Structure 1
Amino acid sequence: MKEKLIVALDVSTREKALRLAEQLWDKVGAFKVGMQLYNSVGPDIVKDIQALGGKVFVDLKFHDIPNTVSQASRIITGKGAFMFTLHASGGKEMMEKSALAVQETAAEMKITKPIVLAITVLTSISQEVFQNEVGIQRPIEDQVVEWAKLAQNSGIDGVVASPKEISAIRKACGPDFIIVTPGIRPLWAASNDQKRIMTPKEAVQLGATYLVVGRPITAQEKPGEAAQKIVTEMEEGIHA
């Protein structure tokens, strides 16, 4: 079950990131490197974490014209990323060209193809914000499902979505479609800025493929123990 747990390294220095990676590499499945860390210390952080034995989920949420995103996808593939993200709202052509670029690059370099994930609706966005500020009037769950189906039809491996939408995505996209869920908060942790959240046990029971957890692990005095507590909660979800 630990392979399903991804730790978000939402820190700003190489030293903090590698300290956490050293403490956690054998207790979790992968590490998420997002915009904060990547833009603070540069792309070499990916290989630094890999050198410690950790798999890296590069979460830069690409969203641009199809050619730009497909070329960026080639670069991230060449870095040996375990996973990376682009926005489903970028459209079918953008996702199709990126999926093809990843397949071609992995074949040319004879490396394992990364999992390509489409971002749906960020877990920090509530229904009120979605309607009044983003300007989309349909329920978040309906929009998430539409983007998940579009991603699947474009050759994308899975989506990043709130745990609240897991069941609807599973129903629409089937058992093999990958669902990565941030917004995971154990009962003993603060929700912080996440709005659509769920416990590790609940998310696993609903069918999440991977869970992304940041501060409930990284902000703890003993992050390894916190990670193990979450893995235990995930195992309870499987056996419930």
Structure 2
Amino acid sequence: MKDRLIVALDVDTFEQACSIVDELGDEVLTYKIGLAPFIGYGFKIIDYIKSKNKRFFLDLKFFDIPNTVELAVYQACMLGASMLSLHTIGTKLMIEAAIAGKKRFEDQTGKAGPILLGITILTSMDEDSLESGMFIKKPLGETILGLAKNAYDAGLRGFVASPNEAKLLKDSFDDVVVVTPGIRMGDSKDDQKRSNTPRFAIENKADYIVVGRPIIKAQNPKQAVIECIKNMKGEM
């Protein structure tokens, strides 16, 4: 199961990030680099992760005009990312541009590009915030499915989804990869509104899970990883 676990390196400094990678050792194969660590020390931590023969998910949630997104995806491919994220609300043209950026990299290098992952509705949002913040009055599941279908029709074959919607996407579309954030070992008292356990996510057909704070803020992060993997297997 450890090949299906992604640990989010959401810490303040390069030194803290390196310390986590060193401490977790062989227990973790893939790390997520989001906006904050990328702005703070992104290229350094990418080089460090690669030096340890680990993979990285570059979670920058691209959302811009198609030409800019195509260029950004191409450059991210050149960095060696195994996964990239983009907002599906960016329309078919933007998604097609992202796919074109990946294809340009593959045609030039002969290497396989990263999995492109479409974000529908962030796990920090629920139906109330969808209506009050984005002025969308449709049910949450219907909105997620509509955005995903639009992206799927444009050629996207990967999605980011909360534990609650992973099965919805896997059952609705053929040959898609689903990466699930919002993982918590118990009740969440933070900004995640659609969270659940590792076991629930795996049983709900997630291909990968992303875990940040429950691991990196634990007293013993390595033990937290071990317990997370046991939970994924249904052993606790």
The interval holding the TM-score normalised by the smaller chain is over 0.9
Name 2:177's counterpart in structure 1. 178
Name 1:139's counterpart in structure 2. 139
1:148-159 correspondence to structure 2 within 5 Å: 148-159=148-159
5+ residue gaps in structure 2?
none
Name 2:7's counterpart in structure 1. 7
CA, structure 1 residues 24+101, in 2 after alignment: closer, same or farther (shift >3 Å)?
same
Measured in 2, the distance between the counterparts of 1:193 and 1:43 equals: 28
Name 2:197's counterpart in structure 1. 199
For residue 67 of structure 1, what is the amino acid of its counterpart?
Answer: N
Q: TM-score, normalised by structure 2?
A: 0.95
Conserved 8 A contact 1:151-1:158: no
Name 2:58's counterpart in structure 1. 58
Conserved 8 A contact 2:164-2:204: no
Q: How far did residue 157 of structure 1 move?
A: 2.5
Name 1:231's counterpart in structure 2. 229
1:65-214 correspondence to structure 2 within 5 Å: 65-174=65-174, 176-187=175-186, 190-214=188-212
In the TM superposition, what whole-angstrom CA distance separates every residue of 1:96-136 from its partner, at most 9, and x where no partner exists?
A: 11112102202312333101001110000121110122100
> SS of 1:26's equivalent?
helix
5+ residue gaps in structure 1?
none
Conserved 8 A contact 1:99-1:155: yes
Aligned length: 236
Conserved 8 A contact 2:33-2:42: no
Q: How far did residue 42 of structure 1 move?
A: 3.5
Measured in 2, the distance between the counterparts of 1:36 and 1:92 equals: 27
Q: CA RMSD in A?
A: 1.6
Q: Which deviates further from its counterpart, 210-219 or 96-105?
A: 96-105
Conserved 8 A contact 1:78-1:109: no
Q: How far did residue 169 of structure 1 move?
A: 1.1
Runs of 4+ in 1 over 6 A off after TM superposition: none
Q: How far did residue 190 of structure 1 move?
A: 4.1
Q: TM-score, normalised by structure 1?
A: 0.94
Measured in 2, the distance between the counterparts of 1:8 and 1:50 equals: 16
Task: Answer yes or no: is 1:28 the counterpart of 2:15.
Answer: no
Percent identity (aligned): 36
Conserved 8 A contact 1:4-1:28: no
Q: How far did residue 44 of structure 1 move?
A: 3.2
Measured in 1, the distance between the counterparts of 2:42 and 2:219 equals: 27
CA, structure 1 residues 69+232, in 2 after alignment: closer, same or farther (shift >3 Å)?
same
Measured in 2, the distance between the counterparts of 1:23 and 1:53 equals: 15
Q: Which deviates further from its counterpart, 190-199 or 203-212?
A: 190-199
Measured in 2, the distance between the counterparts of 1:44 and 1:78 equals: 15
For residue 183 of structure 1, what is the amino acid of its counterpart?
Answer: G
In the TM superposition, what whole-angstrom CA distance separates every residue of 1:160-216 from its partner, at most 9, and x where no partner exists?
A: 111111222122113x211111111112x6442100011111110110011000010
